[in-house]
Every structure is written in structure tokens, then in C-alpha cells.
Amino acid sequence: MLWNNSLETGIPKIDEQHKELFRQADILLDRGKDDRIPQTIDFLAKYVAKHFSDEQVMHASSQYPKALAHKQLHVDFVKRFKDLKQRYEAAGHSLQSVMDINRLVMGWLKEHIMVHDKEFANYYKMKTGK
């Protein structure tokens, strides 16, 4: 699944980070059993952590009332991602594991953006006037 305008939150920094997450997850499938897949998975893990941190800073600065619940969604995702990464490594870098990681990132991110990030974005823009 590719990025499309329906996923935009209207917060440029967040939208750019979301686009990069989609791009990196898509790269996983393009690479198949390529030896660069572990690097892409590691990049995704680090980028997800940075993105979530940036969002949580915005939650705090705007006093977002659902910040704790939103953060818990991030924590849950990171756990699922780590579990799939470990499965990938234990399975000898199987293509099925790569597809599972891609599905998690693409599916979870799409649903998370459409529901939770857009709700936050509406609050943030109203609160900050940005």
C-alpha cells in the first residue's frame, strides 16, 4: 500500500514521517530476501521510535487529553514490531517474516493514522492554531 492524501494529518512534520515509514515498509517487500533487509528493519525500528517520540512531545506541548492512551498504542506497536523482528531473525530471515513485518507496519499505521493521529491532529491544530 502506498501513501495517499487521505492519510495526511495536516501537520507537515508528522505527515513526512508517516510517508517515510510507508516508504521503508514498502522497501521491505521490494527487497525480497535481499541481504539489506535487516538494515531496513533496523532503520524502521529506529525511525518508529523517533516518530513516536516526536508525536509524544507534541502531545505534551499541546496538553492532549488522550496522550497517555495514545502513548500506550505506540508501546503496544513497538512490542509487536520487536516480536516480529525476533521471529524474522529466528526463522533465518524468511520471506514470510518480512511480509508479516510489512503487514504490521502498513496495516497498523494506516488504521492508527486514520483514527488516532487524525483525532490528535484536529485537536493540535485547534489548540495551537497551526
pTM of the full predicted structure? Answer: 0.88
In SS3 terms, the chain reads as: CCCCHHHCCCCHHHHHHHHHHHHHHHHHHHHCCCCCHHHHHHHHHHHHHHHHHHHHHHHHHCCCCCHHHHHHHHHHHHHHHHHHHHHHHHCCCCHHHHHHHHHHHHHHHHHHHHHHHHHHHHHHHHHHCC
Q: Give pLDDT tens digits for 39-78.
A: 888 999 999 999 999 999 999 999 999 999 999 999 999 9
pLDDT tens-digit map of 5-45: 999 999 999 999 999 988 888 888 776 666 778 888 899 99
